[in-house]
Amino acid sequence: MKLNPLLYKSFSMASLAMLISGSKTLGANDINIVIDPSLSAWTSAWGPAYAGKSFDSGNTAAVLLENWSGNTGGQDSYVVGTVADCNGWATCGTNIDGTQYSSIEMDILFFTTNTVSLASCCSAGFQIGFDHGYSFTSLTNFFPAYDGVFHHLSIPIPAAASGANQFYSVGFYIWQPGGVNGALTWEVKNVVVKARLVQVPPPTLSNPYKPTPGLNLFSRTQNGGGNQRTDIGVINNPSGNTWLGASGPVTYSLTITNFPDPSVSYYGNYQAQIFLTSGNFPLPASESAPDYTEASVIFVEIDTTPTGGAYASFRYKINEPQSNAGMFGTDNGTAGTLVTLGGVSTVLGTWSITFNNDTNVTLTGPGGVSTSFVFTNAIALNTNSTPCFGDPLNIFFGGQANASSLIGHEVVLSAASVTGNGNPVSDNFMTDTPPLNSSLWGIFAGDQSTVQLIPTDPLARWVPWTLPDNGFGLLTTATPANSNSWITLTGAGATASLLTMAHSAYRLAYVPSANIPSAQASFFQLVKRTPTQLQVLLPGESNAPGTVSGKSGSPIAQSVGVPFNITVNACDATWHIASSSDTVSFSSTDATANLPPNTALVNGSATISGLTQFNTAGTWTITATDVTTGSIASGASSSVTAQ
């Protein structure tokens, strides 16, 4: 039997109407301008009227001084509160996009002893806005009262404000024409650039599709961008990995069963690869770019052509750590490309590099296409006079995107092997049972979740949907008309533990056959549940969404003075567990009971072990109260006997 892709498609499209509408969320994080005497976050950018700064007694406010004594030709003062400590400079750090922010908030006070006029009749006023590195965009111009009282300012940032698209600091500008004399002192605190709320559409499902069995080597933004490497490396033995001194040919090979379409991956971008490198054995898992980091490397790069063919290049470097650029040019004696094998009809199949002896090499592609050459630097020595490619030799098989536009694609290997050496390795990924054999292989990738061993499972599906998806869960059923038949697979209240991976714009969930409700037709939807009430479950009880009480089972009687476990859930109106990270507190009708401390929910739920006990015989309840969101109703447990 097989899943009907049309039913998947028809439901995934229909399910869009079932999703809640998009929500508003922060498009960026609020920026707090630091008040700290030990830092130089407040300083003068320019202007002869600036007279210095200090801080209040509690170091909560910056005190700024300006003086226009002897002002004959007009003078200004431009003070900036920088986003970061700039070591006395007015500008530092990265440009910030001001259009992602809605307002500048602050509390500001002007001293009653000020002697310079800021009245509208006599000056340009007090201006506040964005600093761009010695240029200024004014967002407001006002004439303050010298009353010695803090006033809260909320300065709107228009979405299309000219010049607000990039800034370093919040700027304060004052100019006085010639002939205006006097001093000005003011304090400012609680300066925050508030992030703008932006409309975020809900995630949308795409058609589920069949996984490719084998070792899936994914690429994703979180794994180093387009230059990420996603590799596995031999870790079982530091000895016998080299070909040097072997009695016969030594072959390093991988077999590719899936590769990005040439129309996507060409030209020479997405690649599969074999790395043979020097270095400690095994290298740390955090070293995801051994071809760059290690001093000596052999690099077999496998690519596609635009017509569906393929080619492989043999590249190398010796004694050149923290570099790989030399491997891509003509051989210069210590680095370069020795040979490229072309004329291969497909990238799918087995690719191998065979050392027939220490220096004679054969590069072979699918269909038996091959080329042979001499690699004299195979026996080159390290700076310590040991062989560059002697043991301990690190062996890697993997893939690489090479372009941010290719993030989300993958290479799938069905096998990898090393034969003829002192530590032979042979792994058929098509017959392995997940997870990857960790006694044989290490994962060398910026994000280890990008390496996944996927078994042969005819009913399994990848289910993709767009991001962001905060608070949403994936549900499945064989009978969509029955609202109580939906099973939660991911998110709050999930009854399964699925493999999920987030790429730059979408998430993938691997749904194995064990979680496919029907081989005839299965349906998926994304749901975001809103918590409205708390639920307390005692030993013997389980969450039962869609029922009147929201529970199944009966509470087990407890013994006085003996701790027991409780579970608290944030639920929607039908007792489905809803996403929440709120904090809950506990009370009991047993005034002597030991109760848990305030506890934060994780994905809408918390199980608290061994912190609850009744100390008086009787029939009691336990109540959970949301201390974060007052509108969420408290939940009382079932009555339970303590004896």
Structure tokens at 543: 């969450």
The DSSP letter of residue 263 is H
In contact, 523 and 476? CB cutoff 8 Å: yes
Structure tokens at 275: 């790395």
CATH architecture assigned to 31-199: Sandwich (2.60)
For the chain, give the percent of residues with pLDDT over 90. Answer: 60
Please give the model's pTM, rounded to 2 decimal places.
Answer: 0.70
Question: In the structure, what pLDDT confidence band is assigned to residue 509 with cuts at 50, 70 and 90?
Answer: very high
Rounded to an integer, the average pLDDT of 11-15 is 33
Give pLDDT, residue 73: 78
Same CATH fold, 533-642 and 214-454?
no
| Separation of alpha carbons 500 and 497, rounded Å | 9
Rounded to an integer, the average pLDDT of 345-371 is 98
Mean pLDDT across the chain: 87
In contact, 21 and 199? CB cutoff 8 Å: no
Give pLDDT, residue 623: 98
Give pLDDT, residue 174: 85
Question: Rg of the chain over CA atoms, in angstroms?
Answer: 33
| Residue written as token pair 């209240």 | 493
Cα angle for residues 519, 218, 216 (degrees, 5° grid): 55
pLDDT tens for residues 538-584?
Answer: 999 999 999 999 999 999 999 999 999 999 999 999 999 999 999 99
CATH architecture assigned to 214-454: Sandwich (2.60)
What residues have CB less than 8 Å from 9, skipping those under 6 apart? 207
Cis amide bond preceding 555, omega within 30 = no
The residue with greater pLDDT, 106 or 5, is: 106
Question: In the structure, what pLDDT confidence band is assigned to residue 266 with cuts at 50, 70 and 90?
Answer: low
Question: In the structure, what pLDDT confidence band is assigned to residue 64 with cuts at 50, 70 and 90?
Answer: confident
The domains of the chain are located at 1-22+203-210+457-520, 31-199, 214-454, 533-642
The 8 Å CB, 24+ separation contacts for 134-143 are 134/45, 134/46, 134/90, 134/91, 135/163, 136/78, 136/171, 136/173, 137/161, 137/162, 137/163, 137/164, 137/167, 138/173, 139/104, 139/164, 143/118, 143/119
Confidence check: pLDDT of 321 > 70? yes
In contact, 275 and 301? CB cutoff 8 Å: no
Rounded to an integer, the average pLDDT of 182-208 is 88
Give pLDDT, residue 340: 98
For the chain, give the percent of residues with pLDDT over 70. Answer: 89
Confidence check: pLDDT of 49 > 90? no
pLDDT tens for residues 68-119?
Answer: 887 777 877 877 776 555 544 444 555 677 778 889 899 999 999 998 887 6
Question: In the structure, what pLDDT confidence band is assigned to residue 56 with cuts at 50, 70 and 90?
Answer: confident
Give pLDDT, residue 20: 36
Which has the closest alpha carbon to 410: 206, 203, 214, 234? Answer: 214
Which has the closest alpha carbon to 234: 409, 511, 424? Answer: 424
Question: In the structure, what pLDDT confidence band is assigned to residue 347 with cuts at 50, 70 and 90?
Answer: very high
Give pLDDT, residue 14: 31
Give pLDDT, residue 87: 47
Question: In the structure, what pLDDT confidence band is assigned to residue 21 with cuts at 50, 70 and 90?
Answer: very low
Give phi and psi for 483, each to the nearest 5.
Answer: -65, -25
The CATH code for residues 533-642 is: 2.60.40
Cα angle for residues 385, 390, 393 (degrees, 5° grid): 130
Rounded to an integer, the average pLDDT of 469-498 is 92
Confidence check: pLDDT of 163 > 90? no
Give pLDDT, residue 579: 93
Confidence check: pLDDT of 313 > 50? yes
